[in-house]
Amino acid sequence: MPDQRLGPEVALNALVVKNLIYWFGHMFINATIYMGVIAVYELLPRYTGKPYGISRPFLWSWAASTVFVIIVFPHHLLMDYAEPRWMLVMGQIISYAAGFPVFLVTAYGVLTNIHRSGMRWKMPSMLAVLALFGWAAGIVPAIIDGTIHVNQVMHNTQWVPGHFHFYLLLGVLPMILTLLYHVVGSRRRAPVNSAADRTGLFLYVVGGISFCMVFLYAGHLSVARRYAIHLSEWVPSDRVGSVAAMVLILGMLVFVARIIAGLLKAPADADASHPAG
């Protein structure tokens, strides 16, 4: 229960408060993804040379997803016997439906935008494609976990952090990196397709996919979430995950170093107006 010292006379329903917490958390993370994908919509056409198609199905899909994301959160509460049955049923049905409208139009739009475009495979465009892959891959274990009978077994295992790390590490962060690398690439004497950049991308992809797959595999083994001490049978996957995390962090450190170095350079316009002596 939340602290009621500011209003002790107010009686709070514990189940309602719990639902509001999950409602906020689920919408917050989805809003992060939906805001981040704007970078893909805006920047990818600059590398393909083709406009990104906006159609009625695209707009209706986003409208449907806006509604779905508000009411899909009960799929986190499927193990809660105290929940009204209709909310649990809604959680499962909307879990199946929520991922498809936006994902399908986005995947279709990105693939058609890339097809026969002669796209320049630079860091921003490669990161944009990685972001769409991470978003797509994260949807699959999420939908599986949104099935009541699977959820009763898997939801308190590391399967769940496996799916949302796919969203975050391989979806949201590459969207942000797409924008940052594009900004850096717009500055003179700040190339964003160097060997260091490609090495960082390789480390990030290998480390990120390995890290997420270890989580999913641990969930398959029924390794519980949030345990401070693990059974000896769970330790091997922990160690593999730790190595994958180190590879992932190393790749991110390369990104950070390259982006900071690029941002410290003068913008192209300023550079042109103040040529080096």
In tens, the pLDDT along 221-248 reads: 989 988 888 889 999 999 999 999 999 9
Q: Is the pLDDT of residue 7 over 90?
A: no
Q: What does the pLDDT read at residue 120?
A: 82
Among 8-12, 89-93, 202-206, whose mean pLDDT is lowest? 8-12
Q: What does the pLDDT read at residue 104?
A: 79
Q: How many residues does the chain have?
A: 277
| Of 171 and 273, the one with more pLDDT | 171
Q: What does the pLDDT read at residue 127?
A: 94
Q: Is the pLDDT of residue 266 over 90?
A: no
Among 4-13, 231-240, 249-258, whose mean pLDDT is lowest? 4-13
Check if the beta carbon of residue 46 is closer than 8 Å to that of residue 141: no
Q: Is the pLDDT of residue 130 over 80?
A: yes
Q: What does the pLDDT read at residue 3?
A: 61
Closest CA to 163 of 251, 104, 99: 99
Which band of pLDDT confidence, cut at 50, 70 and 90, is reported for residue 274?
very low
User: 272 Cβ partners below 8 Å, 6+ apart?
Assistant: 188
93 vs 119: CA distance, rounded Å? 38
| 49 dihedral zone (left: phi>0; alpha: psi -120 to 50; beta) | left
Q: What does the pLDDT read at residue 246?
A: 97
Q: What does the pLDDT read at residue 275?
A: 40
Which band of pLDDT confidence, cut at 50, 70 and 90, is reported for residue 268?
low
Question: What is the pLDDT of the chain when averaged over all its residues?
Answer: 86
Give mean pLDDT, residues 102-128: 86
Which band of pLDDT confidence, cut at 50, 70 and 90, is reported for residue 198?
very high
Q: Is the pLDDT of residue 177 over 90?
A: yes
Tell me the whole-structure pTM to 2 decimals.
Answer: 0.86
Q: What does the pLDDT read at residue 53?
A: 81
Q: Is the pLDDT of residue 255 over 90?
A: yes
Q: Which residue type occupies 244?
A: A
Helix/strand/coil for 120: coil
Which band of pLDDT confidence, cut at 50, 70 and 90, is reported for residue 272?
very low
Residue-wise pLDDT tens digits, 36-80 = 998 999 999 999 989 888 888 888 888 888 888 888 888 888 888
User: 186 Cβ partners below 8 Å, 6+ apart?
Assistant: 267, 268
Closest CA to 200 of 123, 255, 133: 255
Query: Residue 168 carries which DSSP code?
Result: I
Q: Which helix (H) or strand (E) holds 69?
A: helix 56-71
In terms of Cβ atoms closer than 10 Å to its own Cβ (0-12, 13-18, 19+), residue 101 is: buried
First vs last Cα of the chain: how many Å apart? 66
